[in-house]
Amino acid sequence: MMGAVPADSGIPTWRIEPGGPLRGDVSISGSKNVVTKLMVASLLSDEPGVVGNAPHLGDVDITASLLRALGADVDIDDQAHVITIDAHRVLDCRLPASRLNRIPILLTGPLLHRAGEAFIPLGESGDRIGSRPVDYHADALRQLGAEIEFTDEGLHAKASKLHGAHIRLPFPSVGATETVLLTAARAEGRTTLENAAVEPEIVELALFLQRMGARIELQPDRLFVIEGVPHLTGARQRIGGDRIEAFSYLVAGLATGGRVRIRGCAQDRLVTAISTLQRMGAEFAIDDDGIAAEVGAAGLRPAAVHTDPHPGFMTDWQPGLVVLCTQAKGLSVIHETVFEDRLGYVDALRAMNAEVELFDQCLVGNACRFEETGFLHSALVRGVAALRGAEIEMPDIRAAFAHVIAASVADGPSTLHGVHHLERGYDHPLEKFTSLGLTITPVRP
């Protein structure tokens, strides 16, 4: 088994030798989907923002580079897992291009408050899981008083003064909800946001803004009410465990017939995930110190699952679930309702002998917004499949982890390219997988 290689080693390829069930404990890192948003929120104050339990991720480095390009001081202490952002010198309102994550659009509101204008370069960015247009962001910013213009270069925004507004999102978009919270916190007057996303990560952002002095209230039925304030202070917050990472390692243990125990992610962040896995035949041991899962004596049962905004089954859990379904005896049905092209990773699983068929119909749950669009957004998965090793190009963060799980189940070695996707979203994945017994050889170019 290879020794530990730092997650920022720049090694793009792994060779994986499956060696049986994965077993052991995994410490779950702070949430990827929170840490970068709190870094952005720190631009709303001239006093430092401090994020504790910060994970070591490629996305953190990308976001830090963006903030530094604007003039912020960003200190990342990997030993203490603390990030400090001091934005008092931020004057630049033009962002450099970033094609690796979706953070730039979230900086629009904070930059409007600081400089009265913002330039956000647009283009294909983030993971290739379907369209994630900025229309919801732009419409909300316009309602808050910004002038928005799209050019071939990107989004240009101006505002002499931002004001409260009544906004209703067409879909409970996580990113658009974050844009409204980050912009309305210092806008003059009251903002009401209907049909908002209410994921735990959204709540953590709202709590951080509240610590900075924002007046934010979450009411029933996906309604945020924000009373704008003229100034915000610095704040310090320890972020919660990453529920996507936690689910991913639990599934890795189940798919290989092993037993993985995760520590550092609260049970209440995994309620829907746990109940789904229980229906599939997983048995859990849960206490205040951790959550362990293993397959019960009757084996894995097939699943019928549709993804949904929180508190539904999370779209980012879906790729790992599909791999798990290949090891469940019978026919599973998965319906993706959040991203229309999230199932693009399935071709690689088919190359590993997975039996997965894609459909453009809504096969389980209610009809979704992709009905009659032609998008292949439902999957039938037949198990138990005897997966075999293959050479795979990993296309995005969550599919990358799913492909590692598939490689750990396969009969024979696999070569996985695009490890940088994995390292963007998971803290030290090589060390954590090897601690569970998986043999991984980083292959240098």
Residues annotated as part of the active site: 127
Q: State how far the alpha carbon of 298 is from the alpha carbons of 124, 149, 283, 329, 403, in Å.
A: 45, 59, 11, 10, 26
Closest by alpha carbon to 238, among 106, 405, 83? 83
DSSP H helical segments within 280-396, as ranges? Answer: 318-325, 346-351
Backbone angles phi, psi at 68, to 5 degrees: -65, -35
Helix H, strand E, coil C: the string for 18-75 is CCCCCEEEEECCECHHHHHHHHHHHHHCCCCEEEECCCCCHHHHHHHHHHHHCCCEEE
Q: State how far the alpha carbon of 354 is from the alpha carbons of 16, 126, 177, 419, in Å.
A: 18, 27, 37, 22
Give the number of C-alpha atoms closer than 13 A to the C-alpha of residue 130, restricted to the C-beta side. Answer: 14
**In which region does residue 49 sit, left (phi positive, over 0), alpha (psi from -120 to 50) or beta (all else)?**
beta
Helix axis angle, 243-255 to 32-41, nearest 10°: 170
